[in-house]
């Protein structure tokens, strides 16, 4: 499924792009940044079994152990920068540069750990427009009819021919949460965000795992559209 | 209210930034792009007096005649690239580069015409995060407690000390529209967008003018959050 090496980019082009990334990094620049934001609704007596946490997923990458070695060198492992809200998941110290079809780049895209059995890049639509990618809306791991891209790491580059997506809004739920909200895996809920940029997100997909903690994931476009930072109240609605 | 010249930037810094912009333009690059999108709901018999049009406002600038001359030279006038949906308003051929407090830049920001009695930059929150500006949510022309920025044109630069905003979602209405929806100037409506990224925007502010055509304006974060391009149905709700 994956074509490694410089299939779509000539060596001189890659060198030029690397120079550009290094120059940008030396200047301390980076493209369309994103605020990581997090808002937890207070728990009320007789209310939901777990507090509602809404997190904005900034653009990121998931990677197979094999691709990690292509990008970061033989024997490379992900090292932890900080824990994420879901136990065992973490933001790694490893970052890559994404190259789109118009050879525009987004540097400093963080890899989330641990490694997975697929490589995937999750971007916002704003990122997609910038790179020239018409991103499909997908749940993680569903790569049917998704575009690829070139990924550059400090020790090598690779081109994937699929796996670049906009993540579909979703909520991680355990059995307790699904029982409380009266839903099952794959159902949709609505997420109400009150505040100066308030809105009601339709189609927040329920994703079940017995060991997850209740958490909604939206992307930076969605987080900025509702200005999650300034939210005064948040609620999941059937 | 406006300090012209290089108040916050030294000459060498401006020169370096100009070089950077020119280099980027020669490479055909530009930062976080935005799709201009437009969706009109079909009119139904007995329904609203005017078709519902929702437009995404990409980042843009409004300018006074005096500032236009600073940026584009003595005697400069805005020239029309294309008409906008509101009669008499147009996207001009003139574009400027915005410099934020971290000296990151966004080039190719289009000026909308005709000229106004204030200078204003409208950006998305994604743009604000990139530039390092904490954008206030404002209706056009309300510049109280808003940040400024430096603006570069081909013939000169100026620094405004206020006028950079995120535009509050709004709907332009004439008397017929306000009567149909049962609202008055300054009231809020909700905007329902159905589709794969469907959502319901709260707090869409009614802005009355006797000669406008019915039109909702949202920004690129909001347009991308709901993927307006793929909307299957749109509706204003009281």
Q: Tell which B residues from 70 to 109 touch A, by Cβ distance under 8 Å.
A: 104
Minimum distance, in Å, between the CA of residue A69 and any CA atom of chain B: 30
Short-list B230, B232, B222, B185, CA closest to B202: B222
Short-list A127, A135, A126, A136, CA closest to A109: A127
**Average pLDDT of span B86-93:** 96
**What do you get for the CA distance between the two ends of chain B, in Å?**
38
Contacts of B200 in chain A (CB under 8 A): 199-200, 202
Residue B7 has pLDDT above 50, yes or no: no
Degrees to nearest 5, angle at CA A157 with A156 and A163: 140
Question: Which of B23, B217, B224 is the best residue to mutate to test the A interface, defined by the most A CB atoms within 10 Å of its own CB?
Answer: B224
Which residues pair with residue A237 across a beta bridge? A190
Interface check for A3 against chain B (CB to CB < 8 A): the answer is: no
Query: What are the Cα distances from residue B3, in Å, to A226, B17, B102, B150?
Result: 33, 20, 19, 10
Contacts of A104 in chain B (CB under 8 A): 29
Nearest residue, CB atoms, A197 vs list B126, B130, B137: B137
Q: What CA–CA distance (Å, rounded) separates B122 from A89?
A: 38
Query: What are the Cα distances from residue A30, in Å, to A33, A108, A146, B44, B191?
Result: 7, 7, 26, 48, 34
Among A5-14, A185-194, B221-230, the least confident range: A5-14
Name the token pair of B199.
């959502």
Short-list B85, B106, B96, CA closest to B61: B96
CB A206, CB A175: distance < 8 Å = no
Instruction: Write down the pLDDT at residue A58.
Output: 96
Residue A162 has pLDDT above 90, yes or no: yes
By CB neighbour count within 10 A (0-12 exposed, 13-18 middle, 19+ buried), where does A25 fall? middle
DSSP 8-state assignment for residue A184? -
Instruction: Write down the pLDDT at residue A20.
Output: 57
Model confidence at A35, pLDDT cuts 50, 70, 90, reads: very low
The percentage of residues in chain B with a pLDDT greater than 90, rounded to a whole number, is 79
Minimum distance, in Å, between the CA of residue B65 and any CA atom of chain A: 31
Contacts of A197 in chain B (CB under 8 A): 137, 169, 203
Q: Beta-carbon neighbour count of residue B48 at 10 Å?
A: 16
CB B159, CB B148: distance < 8 Å = yes
Contacts of B202 in chain A (CB under 8 A): 194, 198-200
Nearest residue, CB atoms, B31 vs list A32, A35, A196: A32
**Global ipTM:** 0.81
DSSP 8-state assignment for residue A78? -
Contacts of A31 in chain B (CB under 8 A): 31-32, 130
Q: What CA–CA distance (Å, rounded) separates B120 from B228?
A: 25
Question: Which of A20, A23, A32 is the best residue to mutate to test the B interface, defined by the most B CB atoms within 10 Å of its own CB?
Answer: A32
Query: What are the Cα distances from residue A238, in Å, to A42, A190, A191, A205, A209?
Result: 19, 6, 9, 11, 19
CB B228, CB B188: distance < 8 Å = no
CB B60, CB B109: distance < 8 Å = yes
Instruction: Write down the pLDDT at residue A46.
Output: 76
Name the token pair of B232.
């299957």
- Look at residue B56 and give its three-state secondary structure: strand
The percentage of residues in chain A with a pLDDT greater than 70, rounded to a whole number, is 83
What are the residues whose beta carbons fall under 8 Å from the beta carbon of A211, sequence distance 6 or more? A87, A174
pLDDT per position as a tens digit, B169-212:
999 999 999 999 999 999 999 999 999 999 999 999 999 999 99
**A29, B104: Cβ pair inside 8 Å?**
yes
Minimum distance, in Å, between the CA of residue B98 and any CA atom of chain A: 14
**B126, A202: Cβ pair inside 8 Å?**
no
Phi, psi of B12 (to 5 degrees): -65, -35
Residue A187 has pLDDT above 90, yes or no: yes
């Amino acid at each position: 499924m994956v074509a490694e090496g410089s299939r779509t980019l000539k060596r001189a082009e890659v060198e030029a792009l690397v120079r550009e990334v290094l120059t940008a990094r030396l200047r301390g620049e980076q493209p369309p940044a994103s605020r990581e934001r997090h808002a937890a609704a207070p728990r009320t007596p007789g209310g939901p079994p777990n507090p509602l946490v809404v997190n904005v997923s900034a653009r990121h990458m998931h990677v197979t152990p094999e691709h990690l070695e292509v990008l970061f060198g033989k024997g490379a492992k992900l090292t932890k920068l900080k824990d994420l809200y879901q136990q065992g998941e973490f933001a790694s110290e490893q970052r890559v540069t994404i190259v789109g079809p118009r050879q525009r780049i987004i540097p400093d895209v963080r890899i989330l750990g641990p490694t997975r059995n697929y490589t995937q890049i999750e971007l916002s639509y704003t990122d997609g427009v910038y790179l020239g990618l018409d991103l499909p809306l997908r749940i993680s791991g569903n790569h049917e009819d998704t575009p690829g891209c070139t990924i550059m790491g400090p020790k090598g580059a690779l081109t994937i021919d699929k796996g670049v997506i906009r993540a579909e809004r979703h909520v991680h739920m355990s059995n307790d949460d699904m029982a409380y909200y009266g839903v099952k895996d794959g159902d949709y809920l609505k997420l109400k965000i009150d505040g100066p940029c308030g809105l009601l997100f339709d189609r927040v997909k329920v994703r079940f795992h017995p060991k997850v903690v209740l958490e909604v994931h939206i992307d930076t476009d969605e987080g900025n559209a509702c200005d999650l930072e300034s939210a005064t109240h948040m609620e999941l609605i059937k």
